[in-house]
Structure 1
Amino acid sequence: MTAIALRGVPRHVRTFLTHFTAWLAMLFIGSLLAACSGGGTRSDTGTTTGTTTTTPATTTLSVVAPTTDCSKLAAIDITDIGGAGSSIASATVASVTVNGVAISYCNVKGTLAPSNTFQVALPVSTWTQRFAALGCGGLCGNLSDPSAQSSFSFSYSCPLVQQGGFVTAATDMGHSGNASDWTTDTQKQADFAYRGQHITTLAAKKLIKAYYGQEQKYSYFIGCSDGGREALMAAQRYPNDYNGIIAGAPAAHFQVQNSVYHGWNVISNSTTGSSAGNAILYSDKIAILHKAVLASCGDTPDGLISDPRACQFEVASIACAAGATDTSKCLTAAEVAAAGKIYGGPVDASTSARLQAGRPLYGSEYSWPGVEAPTTSSSTGTPVPVTSGVFSYNIVTGAYNLIFTGTPSKPNIDTFGYTDSSFYQTYLAENHPLYDATNPDLSAFKKAGGKLILWHGWADQHISPAYTIAYYEAMQTQMGSSSVDEFSRMYLVPGVAHCGGGEGLDSIDLVSKITGWVEQSTAPSSVMTYKLSSAGAVTSSRPVYPYPAVAKYNGTGDWHDGTNYSSDAARYNVRTPAWAGSFLYTPYSPKVQGVAAP
């Protein structure tokens, strides 16, 4: 991001954006890692197997070699896809070392007009006739190298990815950075909303045919966070683009997520109830809260929560005694109130109607510092502004400029009006069909033979899994549960934070599951998850089952071993209550603006 792009941007936003590009790159790799990662050794049953890897069964496709030189791809015309001004800047061969093995890629970089920067990595000698588009996170604006898989050096799974079996592609979604220059450009808005990934996919497929002399046999999309939104957007808008889609922690409710959800969390933790206040909850008190939540509701051998919605924890149970002088091991009345607001979410002041379906769930506190609250400890005695180093505030500040471009009067975090449901019609209805990916009618994707895997960490601190559940329920209502089961699965992983991390077992191979489903018609059932040591060795394994089933320890054998678990009944059977944004699940015609995608 250049200094020019940041001119006129407030200092706190500049500070945030300086680190945001690095965070996006981490999230890009993390989303692929979470869908296809692990370490040390394992078999698909979850048992450790010494020092070798037992690979899940998958279709064996012959390796296809290029039929032309990589450099010649620089002359490919892509104006039929992106329009006038679209061009390929370079096509060069480079090697990436993965697990000690050098894999060569023909890396093609270019621009699809007006400003969708993209890169396609085409394996030189290892292509197995598969293609995967990779989603980006946050507000995108950064191009991650789809061939840079050095983070897979500790992985044990996804051999199709690690061994260079896929052509992979990435895009910045039509803009650079997250400064305000693109929030007033309707074409760049469209490219971020839906067009960028689609035209990048079309360009990648054209390059595949030119390089190998044939088309790909199977196409996939892998994304998490906004990449998860992009995944669902593809299923809804372009049902023929991909055979299989993995949507992790999807920011499908894009506008609600980046206005109500994050904004409410900020003002709930403010001494003034606005961005002008100091934080109430700090990292040390959040740690006390988290420990109490797990002690009350943890139902797995390692103390995690199988389904936080069944947790009946009362924050007041750890309140400091009246008149206490030492509050270091309890929560003050103000801290209790702040936590209660974050857990509870906003309601309409007049009707008491719920204003959002999702909220930070019990067990997610571990990852609140830096997102819902500052990372500072209250023991320092120095008040910290609620806006300082808090992701929720910074993402809302950036997203508001994008979301509210067409509204009569643009709100800010203090004037949004979180307890008045009219904000849905005033601010969010107009661009809902543009940015959101909540259309529950995926019948066209199903008819095309597409398969969809949704997954979410129960302890996600950025996007509540309750939103993903609500969307999945809306799909069932719209299409029928049996119909949804024919093409979709959803997995919720205890203790896992946003797109990975947290205290849970966050290494999971969903790529082998989606390829097995698409290519062998083998619908996934249980999926083994893993926890790794800092050295990359497996320390524990546990299965997750299609929602709403949960894993239950059988009571005998090592509880660290996933083979000692079986499927158990749901812990919670209440469907998502009605909320003010329920209209988001009514099938709608997607909004198209600017240059239409081919």
Structure 2
Amino acid sequence: MNTRRFLAAMAVVVGALLTACGGDGGGDAAPAATTLGIVKPASACTSLASVDLTDIGGVGSAVTSATEGTVAVNGADVKFCTVEGTLAPAIGFRVRLPIDTWTQRVLHIGCGGLCGSISASVEPGTSYGCPLVQSGGFVLSSTNMGHTGADANWSQDAQKRVDFAYRGVHATTLAAKKLTQAYYGQKERYAYFVGCSDGGREGLMAAQRHADDYDGIVAGAPAFLFNVQNSLHHGWMARSNRDNGLSTGNVVLYPAKAAMLHAAVVAACDPLDGQADGLLTDPRTCSFDPATLQCPAGAADTRACLTATEVATVSKFYNGPRDPSSNRRILVGGPQYGSELNWAGVFVPANDTVTNRVGSDNFVNGARYVIFDDATPPTLDELEFTEAFYGRLRTRHPLNDATNPDLSAFKDAGGKLILWHGWADQHISPINTIAYHEAMQKTMGQASMDTFMRMYLAPGVGHCGSGEGLPNMDLVTALVNWVEGGKAPDAIHTVRTDAAGNVTASRPMYPYPEVARYDGKGDPAAASSYTRGAALYTTPTPDWAGIDFFSPYAAAPL
């Protein structure tokens, strides 16, 4: 055990136990995390402006401001000393240090998309109702990962690609810990990470590269298969929704037709889990055929049916590409049945106004120079959906991807990991995360995994939240309870809220592959009406062309 974790384990408990936010399926309180004593600053906030960060970022690294102010956290005002600065050459960071409420914990908040801005958020995702967050118990850090949105050429800069791949988060975390030591006169007892999408990739990257950075990580909907995700996945979705299969074609499917499709999918597959609630507990049990919605030949009014071209497009969405010679799957997974309402704005236009663009175009165009080492990387129309094309994605796979299933170093350091994904994710297929879970089982063994990781899949929940499901959950408390209290998470209490923030439904979410089963008699909107159910689907993820990406590998650059 390293020194930091030894000190954490030996920390004196002061005060009562903290009541956890989430409950189990029956509505009982979750196991409580130890309340660490509140530590006040040992020096002035302004003194942090002189903290030397060159040992972390190199020459040119500096704090640019250190100011006190009040920030609203879930409606409650929290006083922070906010420190901003740069870690050379261009990693911008922000660290918020609580003035009156620090509980000896630090938390890094991951950045989504291609980042390029410093998150101003003080409410990390999946911390719904968490008292440690609401009360300002964490030092919070965030980063732009080495570039700004206005820097159009960042992806052509080798150093900035490295900073985006992993260095920005790691260096910012080290800086946050050094500032914590300087401000409070002591080190943090525990360090955590919470992120979703690219933030999920960042969390897994940390577990794979820097096993001692965090005691616990929540990684949601991880974009860890970065090179494939932002080339062949978004490329396939974008080109499938063009009538000629190229960016020059007319967009085929629009939101109104996607909504009609969704209604038909739910009508056909919702009952398969034993409850008609509009949600597919495991979409893999669904085998809906979009051709059942095809308009009759010669139909004059096609508003209530799918044209033959629309059926072809939808089928491509669900089925994904195959190598034309070997017939091998090119992608591990695509959008799942039940996700159709969330497609708008990604590979379906945001509204029904006629256009020749879709959101997926932007992901392919924006990541070209990050993924490929070609002097002129392939454009959307130049992508090839073949096994051979994977050779071009492997060059920077060890740099950008976070798919190494061997997390032994993180486990041995005492780290805990919670993975989660929404079944109705419109950006990243939950099948990706399931395939990674299977790779971990193969590499580390289920018994080993059970000691340090859990995975949850949320029915009807979109990318990092939203959707028709119950997207509000507190995985932060579950992680803290596990790291500090030794109690592994089980049922996670999830809720749906209305526009006013009122809870309209609650339900437990069980570790994969178990599911929540309605008891058939209680209030279907109450968590107490659900029990633990066995897996609905047990067939392993099918073979695909990039399966070797989920094999152990040496991270690069070394």
TM-score tier after normalising by the smaller chain length: over 0.9
Deviations 1:228-262 (A, max 9, x none): 00000000000010000000000000010000110
Contact 1:146–1:168 (CA<8 Å) still a contact in 2?
no
Contact 1:227–1:247 (CA<8 Å) still a contact in 2?
yes
1:364 maps onto 2:339 in alignment:
yes
Residues 297-376 of structure 1: pairs in structure 2 closer than 5 A: 297-298=269-270, 299=273, 300-376=275-351
Q: CA deviation at 1:179?
A: 4.7
| Alignment match, 1:529 | 494
Take 2:497 and 2:31, find their aligned partners in 1: how far apart are those partners?
A: 19
Deviations 1:253-302 (A, max 9, x none): 00100001100001111011000011111111111101111111113442
| Alignment match, 1:394 | 362
Distance change (3 Å), C-alpha of 1:307 and 1:350? same
| Alignment match, 1:17 | none
1:182 maps onto 2:154 in alignment:
yes
| Alignment match, 2:554 | 589
| Alignment match, 1:260 | 232
| Alignment match, 2:131 | 159
Contact 2:143–2:169 (CA<8 Å) still a contact in 1?
yes
**TM-score w.r.t. length of structure 1:** 0.87
Give the 3-state SS of the residue equivalent to 2:77 in structure 1.
Answer: strand
Take 2:262 and 2:379, find their aligned partners in 1: how far apart are those partners?
A: 31
| Alignment match, 2:140 | 168
Contact 1:180–1:401 (CA<8 Å) still a contact in 2?
no
1:93 maps onto 2:61 in alignment:
no
Which one of the candidate residues 115, 119, 130 is aligned to 1:140?
A: 115
Q: CA deviation at 1:327?
A: 1.1
Q: CA deviation at 1:376?
A: 3.2
Which one of the candidate residues 280, 287, 292 is aligned to 2:259?
A: 287
| Alignment match, 1:544 | 509
Contact 2:240–2:317 (CA<8 Å) still a contact in 1?
yes
Contact 1:178–1:398 (CA<8 Å) still a contact in 2?
no
| Alignment match, 1:554 | 519
Deviations 1:369-415 (A, max 9, x none): 111111333xx7xx421x2xx221111111113211x2365211101
| Alignment match, 1:44 | 23
Which one of the candidate residues 389, 397, 409 is aligned to 1:423?
A: 389
| Alignment match, 1:570 | 535
Q: CA deviation at 1:102?
A: 2.1
Q: CA deviation at 1:492?
A: 0.2
Take 2:363 and 2:374, find their aligned partners in 1: how far apart are those partners?
A: 19
Which one of the candidate residues 445, 448, 463 is aligned to 2:413?
A: 448
**TM-score w.r.t. length of structure 2:** 0.93
Matching residue's letter, 1:273: G
Residues 200-279 of structure 1: pairs in structure 2 closer than 5 A: 200-279=172-251
Question: What is the total number of aligned residue pairs between the two structures?
Answer: 536
Give the 3-state SS of the residue equivalent to 1:183 in structure 2.
Answer: helix
Deviations 1:193-240 (A, max 9, x none): 010000000000001111111100000000000000000000000001
Q: CA deviation at 1:557?
A: 1.3
Distance change (3 Å), C-alpha of 1:422 and 1:326? same
Matching residue's letter, 2:449: V
1:410 maps onto 2:389 in alignment:
no
Deviations 1:68-116 (A, max 9, x none): 0010000000000000000000111010133553210000001000000
Distance change (3 Å), C-alpha of 1:179 and 1:365? farther
Distance change (3 Å), C-alpha of 1:48 and 1:546? closer
Q: CA deviation at 1:42?
A: 8.0
| Alignment match, 1:78 | 53
1:118 maps onto 2:118 in alignment:
no
Contact 2:458–2:470 (CA<8 Å) still a contact in 1?
yes
| Alignment match, 1:596 | none
Gaps of 5+ in 2: 1-19
Distance change (3 Å), C-alpha of 1:47 and 1:475? closer
Take 1:43 and 1:516, find their aligned partners in 2: how far apart are those partners?
A: 11
Distance change (3 Å), C-alpha of 1:409 and 1:76? closer
Give the 3-state SS of the residue equivalent to 2:380 in structure 1.
Answer: coil
Deviations 1:94-150 (A, max 9, x none): 101335532100000010000000000000010000110110000000111244x5x
Take 1:369 and 1:531, find their aligned partners in 2: how far apart are those partners?
A: 21
Matching residue's letter, 1:347: R
Residues 50-69 of structure 1: pairs in structure 2 closer than 5 A: 57-69=32-44
Contact 2:128–2:472 (CA<8 Å) still a contact in 1?
no
Give the 3-state SS of the residue equivalent to 1:495 in structure 2.
Answer: coil
Give the 3-state SS of the residue equivalent to 1:256 in structure 2.
Answer: helix
Contact 2:21–2:130 (CA<8 Å) still a contact in 1?
no
Distance change (3 Å), C-alpha of 1:104 and 1:408? closer
Contact 1:146–1:169 (CA<8 Å) still a contact in 2?
no
Distance change (3 Å), C-alpha of 1:42 and 1:295? farther
Distance change (3 Å), C-alpha of 1:178 and 1:261? farther
| Alignment match, 2:9 | none
Residue identity (%):
54
Take 1:464 and 1:407, find their aligned partners in 2: how far apart are those partners?
A: 27
